[in-house]
């Protein structure tokens, strides 16, 4: 009888221990580490590419050209602390700037070659020039000597315009220009509504691939417009061929 009672007691104790589970599995056990959430990588927005440097556009309602947007900078440049040497330009720097300004003014002063030939034609875009008056004068001269008018719309910050300026200064090109054309260069990179509207008079598109070269006859008719026909080669040989093709 005692043996049966002892066996029953031991069986009851074993059942109780089994119900509690292994050590540390109850409420006092440390909770299992939560699984980390899956990393989420959002695709970056694709930034709009800036317009090519040789293209200028303007809203039709304002007619004001807009320079191509510069590519966004990835890091902010450090702001230098003004010093005595940087706060005020030196006399040498001021003299150099003045000399550079005089040289630029001289290079952009329109030349007036004589009919049928003349001296070297000055090359360069002059934002301060009265371009509509210059075009009117060229048309009047064309009517008197039978030459065409070559209108060159561009900007000083345009890469192709710089290449064309170099070609226009070539003696072979200047010879053809003097014989067959009156050249008028018009700056459309300086936010001039007047100059931009002058371009729209001959080409009403709202986006222009600079330089825009337009050959106009003495009666004001457009013979060719490179914004629609495409630019010729801007080296000496290619541009000379272009000039001879559209000469009167």
The pLDDT of residue 78 is 54
Please check the confidence at residue 61 and state whether its pLDDT lies above 70: no
The pLDDT of residue 60 is 53
Share of the chain above pLDDT 70, in %: 54
The pLDDT of residue 27 is 42
Which residues lie below 8 Å from residue 130, measured CB to CB, with a gap of 6+? none
Kindly indicate the confidence band of residue 28, based on its pLDDT and cuts at 50, 70 and 90. very low
Supply the mean pLDDT for the chain.
73
- The number of angstroms, rounded, from the C-alpha of 125 to the middle of its chain's C-alpha atoms is 18
The pLDDT of residue 151 is 98
The pLDDT of residue 130 is 97
For residues 210 and 196, the answer to whether their CB atoms sit within 8 Å is no
For residues 37 and 136, the answer to whether their CB atoms sit within 8 Å is no
Rounded distance between C-alpha atoms, residue 124 and residue 165, angstroms: 7
């Amino acid at each position: 009888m005692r043996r049966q009672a002892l066996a029953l007691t031991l069986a009851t104790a074993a059942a109780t221990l089994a119900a509690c589970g292994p050590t540390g599995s109850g409420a006092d056990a440390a909770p299992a580490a939560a699984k980390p959430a899956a990393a989420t990588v959002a695709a970056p927005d694709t930034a709009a590419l800036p317009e090519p440097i040789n293209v200028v556009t303007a809203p039709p309602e304002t007619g004001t050209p807009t320079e191509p947007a510069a590519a966004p900078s990835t890091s902010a440049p450090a702001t230098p602390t003004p010093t005595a040497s940087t706060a005020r330009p030196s006399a040498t720097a001021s003299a150099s700037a003045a000399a550079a300004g005089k040289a630029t003014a001289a290079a952009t002063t329109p030349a007036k070659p004589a009919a049928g030939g003349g001296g070297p034609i000055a090359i360069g875009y002059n934002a301060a020039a009265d371009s509509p008056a210059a075009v009117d004068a060229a048309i009047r001269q064309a009517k008197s000597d039978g030459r065409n008018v070559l209108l060159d719309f561009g900007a000083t910050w345009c890469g192709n315009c710089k290449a064309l300026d170099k070609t226009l200064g070539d003696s072979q090109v200047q010879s053809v220009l003097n014989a067959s054309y009156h050249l008028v260069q018009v700056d459309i990179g300086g936010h001039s509504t007047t100059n931009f509207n002058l371009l729209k008079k001959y080409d009403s598109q709202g986006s222009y691939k600079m330089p825009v070269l337009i050959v106009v006859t003495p009666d004001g008719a457009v013979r060719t417009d490179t914004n629609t026909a495409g630019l010729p080669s801007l080296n000496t040989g290619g541009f000379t061929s272009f000039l001879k093709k559209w000469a009167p």
